């Protein structure tokens, strides 16, 4: 098994940022905006990357949880710091051919989009990308969720992640005040309904006595 070392991890860096938020808010802001710069137009993200002067090189995957850390950490950042100016910079997206059928990851050096959008729209793009559901109405697991060892469960497009389903609910609830700040009532209504539907599906299909299953 080979994995490149010395890379920046999309999920890893944001997890560090949120845990250091109260003592290093400047670092958290930097990592949030750096994460924006490693999001694809479709809403998925570069799972990890090596910085390069001609454009960062990294891996595009079907991992189903990492992009959700962008709105989750952003919501926590503004709630704790009150720094709404983080939404002012406009950041370009990564551009490459989407992963083909049967292609679970690709190491590449993508281009940059002409389109530049603020952090709010980057977060909303991540939430929209999360709306991929399997036969039980739960979030698809893709090539992995937070547990990278589940990397073969969803490669055929049918596997579902209980973790990502709960994490999406948590993220939607956390990000609702941000939507309210931007007056996005339509999004609030849509995502409240989605969160309620997900929770019902989890209780109906994944609750096993006093605990939940891990994945399908």
pLDDT score recorded for residue 126:
98
Mean pLDDT of the 19-24 span: 93
The DSSP code for 142 is: B
Mean pLDDT of the 196-214 span: 96
Averaged confidence pLDDT in the chain: 94
CA atoms of 116 and 138, how far apart (whole Å): 32
Q: How far is CA 18 from CA 72, 78, 93, 128, 168, in A?
A: 9, 11, 23, 22, 17
Between 69-81 and 119-129, two packed helices, what is the crossing angle to 10 degrees?
Answer: 140
pLDDT score recorded for residue 59:
95
pLDDT score recorded for residue 1:
42
pTM (two decimals): 0.95
Q: Which of 71-108 are b and which e, b meaning 16 or more Cβ less than 10 Å from the residue's Cβ?
A: bbbbbbbbeebeeeebbeeebbbbeeeebeeeebeeeb
Residue 184 or residue 156, greater confidence: 184
Residue 2 has pLDDT above 90, yes or no: no
pLDDT score recorded for residue 156:
80
Mean pLDDT of the 33-45 span: 98
pLDDT digits (tens, 9 = 90+) for 52-76: 888 899 999 999 999 999 999 999 9
User: What are 177's two structure tokens?
Assistant: 């005040």
153 pLDDT band, cuts 50/70/90, is: confident
pLDDT digits (tens, 9 = 90+) for 118-131: 999 999 999 999 99
CA atoms of 202 and 212, how far apart (whole Å): 8
Residue 97 has pLDDT above 50, yes or no: yes
Residue 149 or residue 206, greater confidence: 206
């Amino acid at each position: 098994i080979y994995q490149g070392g010395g890379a920046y991890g999309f999920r890893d860096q944001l997890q560090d940022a949120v845990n250091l938020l109260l003592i290093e808010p400047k670092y958290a802001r930097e990592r949030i905006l750096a994460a924006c710069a490693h999001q694809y137009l479709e809403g998925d993200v570069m799972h990890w990357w090596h910085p390069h002067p001609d454009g960062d090189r990294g891996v595009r995957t079907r991992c189903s949880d990492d992009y959700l850390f962008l709105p989750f950490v952003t919501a926590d950042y503004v709630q704790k710091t009150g720094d709404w100016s983080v939404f002012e910079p406009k950041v370009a997206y990564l551009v490459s051919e989407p992963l083909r059928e049967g292609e679970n990851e690709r190491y590449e050096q993508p281009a940059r989009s002409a389109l530049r959008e603020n952090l709010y729209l980057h977060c909303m793009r991540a939430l929209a990308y999360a709306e991929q559901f399997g036969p039980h109405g739960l979030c698809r697991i893709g090539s992995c969720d937070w547990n990278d060892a589940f990397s073969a469960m969803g490669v055929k497009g049918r596997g579902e992640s209980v973790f990502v389903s709960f994490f999406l609910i948590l993220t939607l609830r956390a990000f609702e005040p941000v939507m309210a700040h931007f007056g996005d009532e339509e999004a609030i209504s849509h995502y409240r309904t989605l969160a309620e539907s997900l929770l019902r599906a989890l209780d109906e299909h994944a609750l096993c006595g006093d605990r939940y299953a891990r994945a399908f």
